[in-house]
Amino acid sequence: MSEAHPPASPARALSGWALVLVLLGYALFLHHGLGPFPDRALEIWSPREFLIRQSWITPFEEHLAFGVLAFMLPAALGTVGVFRLSRSSVARMLALSAVLMCGLFAYYGLGERGPGIWNFFHWRGSAVMVGIALALAATASAPLLAASWLRLPMAARIVVYLPVLVGVVVMMRNVTGTDPTLRFAISPWPVVPLFGLKFGSVAILGVIGGMALAAWSFARDAEGVAPPAARRALGLLAALLVPALWFKLWHPTFPAKGMAVVTAAGAAFVLGAAFLGRADTRARRSRHLAWGFLLALLPLAIGKTWADADYSRTREGSARVVIDALAAYYEDHTEYPEDLQELVDLEYLERIPRPTIGFDFIEAQEFVYQSFGNSYNLEFSSPDWVQCAYNPAWSEEDWDDEDEADDPGVTEAGGDDADEESLGESWSCPSSPPELW
């Protein structure tokens, strides 16, 4: 994957980039040809579904898996050509992304439900598919990109890497599936950060980590001496466990069948890293794999940690401040205010706190409050796909006299059972960010 090669000739390099453009053009061709004709204003980026209208397309629609593979095959063959012609890690990454784009366009263009979903989301659906393809291709190419990055001067490394770091962190911290006003929420669910980064990229990173360990375990030293058999055996065993354990760490409730797929795929790539290729270059390969793993992991880890901290800070911090102020107001007035501004006007709060989600300069969030007299609902959007709602504790004593009189099943105030019928406060979301699965 990362052995030293002589630089490609200018003609070969130019041919490689020309082939990348052809592959991206082919992906655009499938996007416009397989994508559904929109039921709204036609824009330059809108699909035209001209391929779907051809009679020969029917077998591909009837056998979806065959159709997806058939339309991906030209892009896959072209990607092999890019790898042979060009040493550019960026060109190779874009070629891989074109393969994935073709697969996604074919899946949603040919499938029975796909066109309806795609047409409903319109350009957002196209953007999600392109975003996922780029995220997965960039992660899979991380060792190649790291090898090129390591050859740059330190200042150039910072200039190249910083936009990637910031972009991924912003995307992971500033998206939610429940508030369409938030920037970067390019679909009702934040599909790119969730399935592209937190699911797909994390799974690929686990495989890359296992490959790095396997390559290191079998790498020869500077004198060309092979490592001891014990190191190779223990290193390979540990490397085989890394992909599954890594993915389980990020997604502890992921289904067992999915874990089996991750484990099998990870083991295949780990074995390849250990035994395929030239033995005298495994040390360099392991270095590039390790750097690719770390460079791709850093923005994911920062974004996830920051988003999880936002969730806890809002639920246990600013939301609790509002809840306590509402409780004090209710104790004095025997009902809750019509809006939160009354808490400020009557000096129960100095100001209304805001939920902490994302970056305020991109989009500031507010609590959503509904008063029901003797109860209320307080909501806020949180990272990923969660919408948090809070309801205060209540008891039969909160019911008004008219309701009690109309309901023969309610005991009289002061009865033995009256104080026992109560419910505590209620959150629709757990104390820590929940798993998607």
Alpha-carbon span 385 to 307, nearest angstrom:
12
Helix 202-217 vs helix 123-140: crossing angle, to nearest 10? 10
pTM: 0.84
Other Cβ atoms closer than 10 A to 436: 16
> What is the rounded distance in angstroms from the CA atom of residue 271 to the CA atom of residue 241?
12
pLDDT at 83: 96
DSSP 176: B
- The tens digit of pLDDT for each residue in 158-174 reads 999 999 999 898 888 87
Which pLDDT belongs to residue 411? 42
Contact 267, 243 (CB under 8 A): yes
Q: Percentage of the chain with pLDDT > 70? A: 85
Lowest average pLDDT, out of 72-81, 113-122, 170-179, 418-427, goes to 418-427
pLDDT for 17 equals 97
Q: What CA–CA distance (Å, rounded) separates 221 from 249?
A: 32
* 387 class by beta-carbon count within 10 Å (0-12 exposed, 13-18 middle, 19+ buried): middle
| pLDDT tens digits along 81-95 | 999 999 999 999 999
- What's the token pair of residue 135? 């995220």
pLDDT tens per residue, range 239-271: 999 999 999 998 888 888 889 998 999 999 999
Residue 146 has pLDDT above 90, yes or no: yes
Categorize the per-residue pLDDT at 370 as very low, low, confident or very high, splitting at 50, 70 and 90: very high
Q: What's the pLDDT band for 220 if we cut at 50, 70, 90?
A: confident
Q: What are 418-437's pLDDT values in tens digits?
A: 444 456 788 988 887 766 65
What average pLDDT score do residues 37-65 get?
91
What's the mean pLDDT when you consider all of the chain? 86
Report residue 226's pLDDT band, with 50, 70 and 90 as the boundaries: confident
Binned at pLDDT 50, 70 and 90, residue 362 comes out as low
Q: Predicted confidence band at 189 (pLDDT cuts at 50, 70, 90)?
A: low
What per-residue confidence (pLDDT) applies to 420? 43
With b for 16 or more beta-carbon neighbours within 10 A and e for fewer, the 29-63 pattern comes to ebbbbbbbebeeeeeeebbbbebbeeeebeebeee
Q: Residue 193's pLDDT band (boundaries 50, 70, 90)?
A: confident
Size (the chain), residues: 437
